[in-house]
Amino acid sequence: MTANDFKAELRRLSGGYLFCGEEDYLKRYYMGAARNAVTEKNDIFNRILITADNYSADNLMSSIESLPVMNDKKFIEISGLPFNEMREQDIEDMTEVLSKLPDYEYDVLIIYADAENFDAGTPKQPSKLFKKLSKVVKPVLFPRETPARLAAWVAKHFAAELVVAPPDAVNALLAKCGCDMSVLSSEIEKLCWYLKAANREKLTEADVALVASESKEIAAFDFTNAILDGKISKALSILTELRLKKEKPEIILSGISKVICELCAVKALMESGSGSQMIAQKLKMHPFKAGLYMKSASAADSDKLKRLAAICYDADIRIKSTPLDSYGVLDRLTVEAAMRG
């Protein structure tokens, strides 16, 4: 079942559903929509939340068996369970309880599976866990949006606020803020307020550059590209901006190291003949991000990437041994990388 299929079913929900996939923003959105469709707002009697803190098969069974209070239905949300760490017997116990859901027509139950804690496998090769749960609840898949759909979603959200967002401005926003729909939603709201205050209705690339906040991941990506291109001034400028935002040096370095590792992986896959779709799938990247990384990886020298990875490793050791001069370590990393590039 797709998100659109679930949307069409909102007014007649029944039984159990499994929300899985990488697009957490849409999972949260439809969880809220389902909650409000089944129960009144602030209905504490007919809304049950089960988390890792209070989950047990017995508690789940009790929640399913309990009758709704002054309502035809009740809503049960299971969220935050570490599925990948659960014992096989725990999964068996859960599926046995969930198999009894059809006997309780007043229940609507949704399992919110975090992408990090739930390995669903692939459409062609679903995981054992996914197969087991799919037998007792209906899976609703939330894959990463394609670049085209994501851009259309951004433009649509601007249009809802009576703001015209041309493709160049939308692409500038995606390039600066990344592909996280939660982050984008916040940035869209901020840009709309800015334009309304300026009594304007059309978004420009200049507005995005001035108002939108660059994500830490994009900042690390831009820093790495600046080093690879030999633009030391730009790299130092990015570090200065992160420092002013009081980002921790170890977090900055971790982000840079992650970007380098991903660029190495992308380059290796490209050299083996993989296309953008295969790279995005294998590395679990958003297609838009995969496209950006492929562009950088194709222009990057493999040996230079390896040298940069080694410099980051040395910097990590220095930061851990000299925490009082951590920002200085990052400055030296930048200069050293440029000199050895």
How does DSSP assign 103-156, residue by residue? G-TTEEEEEE--TTT---B-SSSB-HHHHHHHTTSEEEE-PPPPHHHHHHHHHH
Distances in Å between the Cα of 203 and the Cα atoms of 22, 172, 189, 211 are: 29, 11, 12, 11
Q: Tell whether the model's pLDDT for residue 341 goes beyond 60.
A: no
- Give the C-alpha separation, 173 to 180, whole Å: 11
Residues 301-308 have a mean pLDDT of 86
CB 35 within 8 A of CB 75: yes
pLDDT one-digit tens code per residue, 194-230:
999 989 999 999 999 899 888 888 888 888 888 888 8
Residues 142-153 have a mean pLDDT of 88
CB 98 within 8 A of CB 16: yes
pLDDT given at position 177: 87
Domain 216-340: give its CATH code: 1.20.272.10
Lowest mean pLDDT: which of 16-30, 81-95, 145-159, 321-335?
321-335
Residues 147-170 have a mean pLDDT of 93
- Give the C-alpha separation, 220 to 239, whole Å: 9
pLDDT given at position 331: 83
What's the maximum distance between 2 C-alpha atoms anywhere in the chain? 72
pLDDT one-digit tens code per residue, 1-43:
899 999 999 888 989 999 998 888 899 999 999 999 999 888 8
pLDDT given at position 180: 85
- Give the C-alpha separation, 170 to 246, whole Å: 28
Query: How is the chain split into domains, by residue range?
Result: 3-141, 147-211, 216-340
pLDDT one-digit tens code per residue, 249-269:
888 889 899 999 999 999 999
One of 1.25.40.10, 3.40.50.300, 1.10.357.10, 3.40.1260.20 is the CATH number of 3-141, namely 3.40.50.300
* Sequence-distant (≥ 6) Cβ neighbours of residue 160 within 8 angstroms: none
Class of domain 147-211: mainly alpha
Tokens of 180: 């996280």
Q: Tell whether the model's pLDDT for residue 338 goes beyond 70.
A: no
DSSP annotation of 325: G
pLDDT one-digit tens code per residue, 62-74:
999 999 998 999 9
Q: What is the DSSP string of 170-230?
A: HHHHHHHH-S-HHHHHHHHHHHHHHHHHTT--B--HHHHHHHSPPPHHHHHHHHHHHHHTT
Q: Tell whether the model's pLDDT for residue 130 goes beyond 70.
A: yes
- Give the C-alpha separation, 301 to 13, whole Å: 54
